[in-house]
Structure 1
Amino acid sequence: MKKSLFLNIDFIMQLLMFICCASIVFYRVVVLQSILLIILSILVLIKNIKSFKLNKKNWPFITLGIFLSTIYIINYDQSISLKKIGESLMLFIIPVLSNNFFITNNKIINKKNLLIFYSICVSFLCLYIINFYFYYSPHHKYDWYLARFFIELFLKFHSTYIGVWVGVSVFILIDVLLKIKNNLLGILSIVIMIIIQISTLLILNTRMALYSIIIISLINSLLFLNKKQKIYGLIITLTLITSILVFTNRYKEDTLFVVKNSIVNSPRYPIYYCSLKLIKDSFWIGNNPTTLQTKQNDCYTCLHHKELAEKDTNSHSQYFDFFLKGGVFLFIAFIIMLFHKLKYTLQTKNYLYFSISLFFCFAFLTENILSRQYGLFIYFFVDLIFINVVFDEAHRNNK
């Protein structure tokens, strides 16, 4: 007897991924995202744990997950350590078990449709932000700082994470745009979504997301595209650069600040100074995560930056965060894992996953992306979809 579609584990997992995407529109439903991610993780383990084999490609991911879990077991009490261990499993181990995640006979549930659906959901979120921006224009009078303050205050969503969600979506849309042929309506729809999403990044002044999109677009245009696609890529890149310079004042202010002031006066200086100081003090084994924030706050206070201490400001760098918590060995394991992603995505010619992986590498420079649910969600979502191309020969060349 033919198995019911809704009893098929592949269908259930991929349907849950669509529900995860839909939750983006209702972005405050963090609890729902957490539950869905946990269910997905369990299903992936049930389906693939027996066929999993350790090899030279996946050992950095497994090592990093075990390393982090060990740190959490040692330093946290049981209730917190279990949560943290679960996060490390979702981030670094479970995705490498997800072989053949999208092999299914159902035509509705597939990778391309899921990615487009994700971008559509992000576009709806962007439209909501744009509408809010113009609705509150009498209050912020189009001042970028006040506008961002109002958006983050009332929407209760750090713009950095919106920037990461949107950045991933922009690369997906560009990839789809370059592959569309003889479909004017499809091309127009994709272009409109790109414009909406880039406009949101400009409104929020998410510098790292915008800079990363520009740099990665240039890399792709110069190295990986054919002559016709290079022209499109360069046009998109130049349009982005022009838009950023024309429609926002933040980058002009940043440039003037660097010219007129010492780097010591930069708002990021005390954050990175204290992070590097604590790294130096515990270079080999790292700091106890439960007392790390207290040490950082004490350092901020010594530098006469009490406002940073009062806000419990973290290291604002995922690289620093792992170095601080696990020392040089955890830091090296994290770097090797990222290097493996970039290396094998290039070897398998999956330029979309390469672009998104490089985008995360840039995003990790300025924010602890993997320390919050919003960042954990998008990182897990991307890897669960794409990481097979690193390990499976059948996924080469975007097949």
Structure 2
Amino acid sequence: MRLRQHSEIAIISGAFLFGFALFFKTELANVALILFYAAVVFNYFVSKSGLPKLDRKIVFGTTLMLLISILISIVHLKDAEPILNTLGRRITYLLSPIMFLLIPNKQLKVLTKYAFKGLIIGGVLSSIFLILNILNEYYFTRPFLSIDKDILNFYHTNFYFTRIVDIHPSYYGMYLITALAYIYFSDGVKYKILNVIFSIIIIVSIIFLNSRIILFLFFVLHLISLVSFFQKRINSIFKTLMASTIVFVLLLGVLFVTTKSTYAFQRIVKETLWELTYKVDDNYNSSGKGDSRLARWHAALNLIIKKPLLGYGVLSESNELLYEYKRLGMKSAAENEYNAHNQYLGFTLEGGIFSFLALLCFLFFNLYISLKSRDLLFFFFVISVSSICFIENYLIRNAGVVFVAFFSSMFLFNYVKNDS
């Protein structure tokens, strides 16, 4: 009995530590995840609980679908090392669904709360640390408590903001926006005043991140929240949409007036437009030159057209794109050896149309489940992952792999086990 209790505590602790560690070091999150897996396996054998009977179709919503490109790459097999290396990096896509399958429903509900509490506390503490660091640098050359537009300049936002924890702003932002969504749509923490304080700290951190995709998701989150808020108070769908739209536009107006003269605003508007225009070796601001995302997507599509069915195999994307960048005269992209910065294109380059369809299957299946269960948090999570995949190769980087493997499995099996 004691062994079982200890193993249950270990599972909850592992989930909490994983959510917490994401904000400080991906390697620490990996260690917490390994401890979580070990606790789950130990608890399964100690409790001697059987496996639940689930619909086999559920496999289409698991992260196993994100391993299809590795299976297809066997066709390109000249050396097994790239496949084994890639499988090692993405092994949590295989392990996480299995682990959550082994967890009893009662424990699953508890660990879900603690995983999000870890995410919230980790997000708040790391945000405080990063904000204080930036304010220290900002006031080093200014009178204390004076504020001007330079507080959101190049040297205080984006990569400069997260450089101490050495996490990409968009990846860090995904953790933050998910924590904020949990506060909005679920219980958050026990005391409402703490939820308000934590929300403010996270929002300030998101502003300093100045990541375009995270700011987009920030607006989407608040639009969904407004619709949900008014829907509970107004019977008419039309009036709900009107009220939500009016409040949302007013909030956008306030944000525009307060930030229009800052570097952060210029980056969001001008550089986003530049990224979505075909530009090769062109100035994206007064001091920077490069190749736009649209140009890189064009290069990726050129390669996909040549091998649409089975792609080029795992770990081949950067090398193939490098040759194409050089052919198209994209010096900056070639020098930096950029990938496609689009997961849909990235998976298609790896495993062809079948890998692309597997990714869509994973996303749409989970989107369907989130809508069916009317779970706004799950719905927003799927929207977030789908969105960031348009501008990042999010599902092949360790920081994205472990996050999506853990939380998508947690959401999916929470629904499946409740439904069954």
Q: Say whether the fold is shared (TM-score over 0.5).
A: yes
Give aligned-pair identity as a percent: 18
> What are the Cα deviations for residues 120-141 of structure 1, in whole angstroms up to 9, with x where unaligned?
2111111111112212225894
Larger displacement relative to structure 2 (40-49 or 347-356): 40-49
Supply the distance in 2 between the matched residues of 1:72 and 1:282 (Cα, whole angstroms): 13
Aligned residue for 1:246?
Answer: 258
Change (3 A) 1:299 1:353: same
Match of residue 37, structure 1, among 1, 17, 33? 33
Shift of 1:353: 0.8
Larger displacement relative to structure 2 (293-302 or 317-326): 293-302
Q: Is contact 2:22–2:28 with CA below 8 Å preserved after alignment? A: no
Change (3 A) 1:51 1:273: same
Q: Is contact 1:317–1:366 with CA below 8 Å preserved after alignment? A: yes
Supply the distance in 2 between the matched residues of 1:69 and 1:305 (Cα, whole angstroms): 29
Match of residue 98, structure 1, among 97, 100, 112? 100
What secondary structure does 1:304 align onto?
coil
Greater length-normalized contact order (CA 8 Å, ≥ 6 residues apart): 2
* TM-score when normalising by structure 1: 0.82
Aligned residue for 1:255?
Answer: 269
Aligned residue for 1:136?
Answer: 137
What secondary structure does 2:254 align onto?
helix
Shift of 1:350: 1.5
Supply the distance in 1 between the matched residues of 2:220 and 2:185 (Cα, whole angstroms): 16
State yes or no: 1:195 paired with 2:200.
Answer: yes
Supply the distance in 1 between the matched residues of 2:213 and 2:94 (Cα, whole angstroms): 24
Q: Aligned pair count?
A: 385
Amino acid at match of 2:411: F
Supply the distance in 2 between the matched residues of 1:69 and 1:261 (Cα, whole angstroms): 30
Aligned residue for 2:366?
Answer: 341
Larger displacement relative to structure 2 (302-311 or 109-118): 109-118
Shift of 1:55: 1.4
Q: Is contact 1:60–1:336 with CA below 8 Å preserved after alignment? A: yes
Match of residue 151, structure 1, among 152, 161, 185? 161
Amino acid at match of 2:10: I
Alignment of 1:4-153 (within 5 A): 4-5=3-4, 7-8=6-7, 10-25=8-23, 27-28=24-25, 30-41=26-37, 44=40, 47=44, 51=52, 55-59=56-60, 61=62, 64-65=65-66, 67-71=68-72, 75=77, 77-78=79-80, 80-91=82-93, 94-95=96-97, 98-99=100-101, 101=103, 103-104=105-106, 110-137=111-138, 141-142=150-151, 144-147=153-156, 148-153=158-163
Q: Is contact 2:181–2:221 with CA below 8 Å preserved after alignment? A: no
Change (3 A) 1:254 1:210: closer
Amino acid at match of 1:32: L
Q: Is contact 1:144–1:204 with CA below 8 Å preserved after alignment? A: no
Supply the distance in 2 between the matched residues of 1:220 and 1:168 (Cα, whole angstroms): 13
Unaligned runs of 5+ in 1: none
Q: Is contact 1:245–1:252 with CA below 8 Å preserved after alignment? A: no
Unaligned runs of 5+ in 2: 142-148, 235-239, 285-291
Amino acid at match of 2:369: Y
Q: Is contact 2:300–2:321 with CA below 8 Å preserved after alignment? A: yes
State yes or no: 1:382 paired with 2:407.
Answer: yes
Q: Is contact 1:285–1:326 with CA below 8 Å preserved after alignment? A: yes
Amino acid at match of 1:144: N
* TM-score when normalising by structure 2: 0.78
> What are the Cα deviations for residues 210-245 of structure 1, in whole angstroms up to 9, with x where unaligned?
112212432454368633497799858854673366
Change (3 A) 1:330 1:194: same
Shift of 1:89: 4.5
State yes or no: 1:279 paired with 2:304.
Answer: yes
Q: Is contact 2:63–2:409 with CA below 8 Å preserved after alignment? A: no
Aligned residue for 2:287?
Answer: none
Supply the distance in 1 between the matched residues of 2:405 and 2:331 (Cα, whole angstroms): 35
Change (3 A) 1:219 1:141: closer
Q: Is contact 2:347–2:355 with CA below 8 Å preserved after alignment? A: yes
Supply the distance in 1 between the matched residues of 2:225 and 2:153 (Cα, whole angstroms): 30
